[in-house]
Structure 1
Amino acid sequence: MVQGVFYRQSTRTEARRLGLVGYARNNEDGTVTIEAEGSVAALDALEAWCRQGPPAARVEQVTVSSGPVQGYPEFAIQRL
């Protein structure tokens, strides 16, 4: 759950730094969904970063799954 820690914005910055495309989105239950596409090394680095998050975040759980490639044009923040 995230509130006021700039998790999505920080994730976008980190994902773009790693050359990834996809999105970060807050969910109604306070969790965040992130979909990312790119090299395995970059995805692994983003996963490791997500386990820490930005300085004000307290990350309790990260769940990772694979899915079909969507072909995102960039890494963006989605709104519900």
Structure 2
Amino acid sequence: MDDVRAHVVVSGRVQGVWFRASTRDVARRLGLRGWVRNVPNGDVEAVFEGPRPQVEEAIAWCRRGPPAARVDHCDVIWEEPRGEGPFEVRF
């Protein structure tokens, strides 16, 4: 099965609630590659690469987030995979 790439932007109360660390843990558990980072406007941005079912599971998690988060929007753009490395939190 070919890998896919999803570029995700999550908005709401998503900074200061362990969103990035939790996203990293979920992505690593699912065996995905990519990254997650805070955006200056208060959003969280992530890229997930891997098999479509696991990427879709990561997106579904992002729509909920960790317990302290409040997700208002989760926008997904499907892109061509670029060969991301091991999933990491970017600063």
Measured against the shorter chain, the TM-score band is over 0.9
Percent identity between the two aligned chains = 44
Distance 1:4 1:55 in 2: 12
- Equivalent residue, structure 2, for 1:57: 69
Matched, 1:12 2:24: yes
> What TM-score does the superposition give when structure 2 sets the normalisation length?
0.83
The number of residue pairs the alignment matches comes to: 79
- Equivalent residue, structure 1, for 2:83: 71
Report the residue type matching 2:90 in the other structure.
Q
Flag structure 1 segments of 5+ consecutive residues without an equivalent. none
- Once the two structures are superposed, what CA deviation does each residue of 1:13-40 show, in whole Å capped at 9, x if it has no partner? 0000011000001001000110010000
Hey, which bits of structure 1, 4+ residues long, moved more than 3 A? none
Higher relative contact order (CA 8 A, sep 6+): 2
- Equivalent residue, structure 2, for 1:23: 35
1:74 positional shift: 0.4
Give the aligned CA root-mean-square deviation in angstroms: 0.9
